[in-house]
Structures are given as structure tokens and as C-alpha cells.
Amino acid sequence: MKGADVLGASKSGTGKTAAYVLPLLHKLQKLVKKDSKVVRALIIVPTIELADQVSRSIVNFSKYLEIQTVKVQGGSKKIEQIARIKQGVDIVVATPGRLQDFINHKKITLEHVNTVILDEADTMLDLGFLTEIKAILKACPAQKQMMCFSATISQNIKKLAKEFLRDPAIVEVSNRRDVVNVIKHRAYKVDKKRKAELAAKLVKDLGVGQVLIFVNKKETANKLFEYFKAQEIWTSIIHGDIKRGGRAKALRLFKSGKSQVLIATDIAARGIDIPELPMVINYDLPKLTDDFTHRAGRTGRANHKGGVITLLTIDDYHPFSTIEKHLKLNIKREIMKGFEISDKQPRQARPRKKSLREKKGYIDYDKKRKFSHAVQKKKREEEKKRKKK
């Protein structure tokens, strides 16, 4: 409310949208004029789904105010969006690509904008939208309030804040461990060739109405979708190659309970908010801990119970241990009956048995080993000198 720049971080499902929309509406209601509207606030989001979610929240919150909101996003007709802008608008919720296109073709003017909000900023950086964001901010006045929101404050977010925000107030409500700490986690080891089979069995055995399955690649999503269809599991799918209408329909079917499973890639799933989602399955292990946190944050929202199951092939053992270490988790690796492992397992160093004297603390084994190595090295050097002579 003081107009300071803000860098905010909080886990998914805690109400970041309300946290910035409510003060924004409070500020705007004193400025907006019914008959001469100009764009005063700009909210930039990475995906169509998040644009839908944020604009829906603003419309609900501003029901009794003379404030107009419009979405500027890909996947919808430009002509309809341009018509809405011409009618007069106070807040624009936009994806970077479509908004930059409108600016370039002079379909929108941002010269009166006094508040700019970057939501899911980490995802926008992952998607390579930095150039578009720079161009958009150049079209806004130099004097404005900037707010940047993310699930976590990573090094990339700090760099972004340093470039665009002026001495921001940093509000970090929770760390990423909190996201996964209240959720029940399980992990199943499985052969690579039987992963789809195990995923289908888990969906059938869990007996829950909604399961969100995350994969790393669009090709994997398509293959798993076809496999589930063959198994007569009602399934929807969303990823970057599916058009706006198809993604909206898939989400609608899943939310209404007409499909039991939604298969999604990480980027497509940004902005998905499914109340009381009971289960998330990591079909593929994400590369980054933050992505694991984001996936887990789709369930267990608003204090409802949730569960996450992660499928592990031999290539996932070490990366999964790293994720556990970062999040201070200790998840038991299970093997489903009938899915015994046949893939060759990685070799593990056998723990050396300590002698009774070592257990009682008489011998510092590490010091003893270093001393032994030093002695052996000295002997080798002396032997070399002797041979030279």
C-alpha cells in the first residue's frame, strides 16, 4: 500500500493471488473513472491457464467495484481481446508473447500503468520470456510499482529482482520444504519397461477420483495417454503442443470428475488449481528440486490431505536422493508385489564393519587411514629414489 516494490515468495495454494489483488483493487478504486478508463495495472503470467485463474479471481473480488479486467493471451481470438480493450479496461492480465504483439501493433497503450506484477516469475524465466518482459516494461512509465511473485526465491529470481525492482521489500512466507512436509510421500522402484503398467495399477488400486500425473516430455505424455486409454482409464492430457481449447476441455473434464486422470508436463500445469486434489504421481522424476516442490504443491492445498507417489527407475536413484537431501525428506523405496526389479541395479559401496576398539572410540579410523596412506606414499618415493641410484 506504500507503493514499495515487492519480491514475494510463498508455497502454492497459500493465496498469493489474493495477497496482491486485494491491495491492488483497494488502490485502484480511488483512481478509476467510469467513463474514461485507461490501463492502470498490468499482471504478467507465463501460461494461459494461469491467466484464466488470475483474471477469474480479480473478477470475483471486484464484483461490486467499477473496475474492468481483460485477458490478453494466446490461444484466443485477437479481435475479441482488442474489442474489450477499446471498451475501456483498468487491469490487464497477460501472457508475454501476445501482450508484446499488441504493443508492437499499437493495439494497447501502457503509458498510464502504475503497477506491474510478475506472477510465477520463475516459470517465465524457464520459458525464456526475459526479452519479452524487458520490451513490455520499456512500454510502461519509468515511475511504477513493481511486484514479483514466485513459489521460491531462486538465484534467477534474485537476478530478475536486481534488474527490475528498486530496493524491494522481500516477503518470504515459507520455504520449499514446507510444501512437501505436510504431504504423505511414497516411492516405488520399477523397471523402465514396466513403468506405465505400474502407473495404471496404482491409479486403479488407489480408488481416488482424481490423479494428476506429471511427465517430463510431451512424447511421454502422448504415449502414456494412449496406454491408459487402452487400459480403459478415463484420461485427459495437457502439454505445450495442445491448443488452448483442448487444454481447457481437458482441465474441465478432470475438474468435473468425468476423467479420473490428468497427464501433464510441468509448464502446462502451471496455474492449475484443483481444490482437494488427493493424489499426484511423478511418472518421471523432475530434474530440479523446485519442480518437485511445485508438483507436490498441486495436492495438500488449503490444509486438505494429499499424497505424492514417485516412480523410480535405476537412473533416478541418485537424483531422488539429492531432492530428498534438499527437502530434508526420507522416503522409503518400495517394490510393488508382482513388479520385482530385473533391471541391473547400480553398485553400492558396502559399509565397512568397525572393530570393537573403533566402536569404543579407541581408534580414529579416518586418521589411521590417512596415516597409512602417507606411510605407503613415503615408501614408494623412497623405492623410486633407491632404483634411480
Q: What are the residue boundaries of the structural domains of the chain, listed by start?
A: 6-174, 177-334
Output the nine-digit C-alpha cell for 305: 490431505
CA neighbor of 152 nearest in space, from 57, 298, 290, 342? 290
Topology of the domain covering 6-174: Rossmann fold (3.40.50)
DSSP string, 208-225: -S-EEEEES-HHHHHHHH
20 three-class SS = helix
Report pLDDT for 41: 96
Q: Given a cut of 90, is residue 329 above it in pLDDT?
A: no
Q: What CA–CA distance (Å, rounded) separates 333 from 337? A: 13
CA 228 to chain centre: 25
Average per-residue pLDDT for the chain: 86
β partners of residue 9: 150, 172
Decide if 6-174 and 177-334 have a common fold.
yes
β partners of residue 334: 188
Q: Among 3.30.1950.10, 3.30.70.3270, 3.40.50.300, 3.20.20.70, name the CATH number for the domain at 177-334.
A: 3.40.50.300
Per-residue pLDDT reduced to its tens digit, 267-323: 766 667 777 888 999 999 998 887 888 888 888 766 677 899 999 999 999 999 999
Decide: 233 and 203 in contact? Cβ < 8 Å.
yes
Q: What CA–CA distance (Å, rounded) separates 338 from 318? A: 24
β partners of residue 146: 116
Decide: 151 and 295 in contact? Cβ < 8 Å.
no
Per-residue pLDDT reduced to its tens digit, 102-146: 999 999 999 999 999 999 888 888 778 889 999 999 999 999 999
Q: Given a cut of 90, is residue 157 above it in pLDDT?
A: no
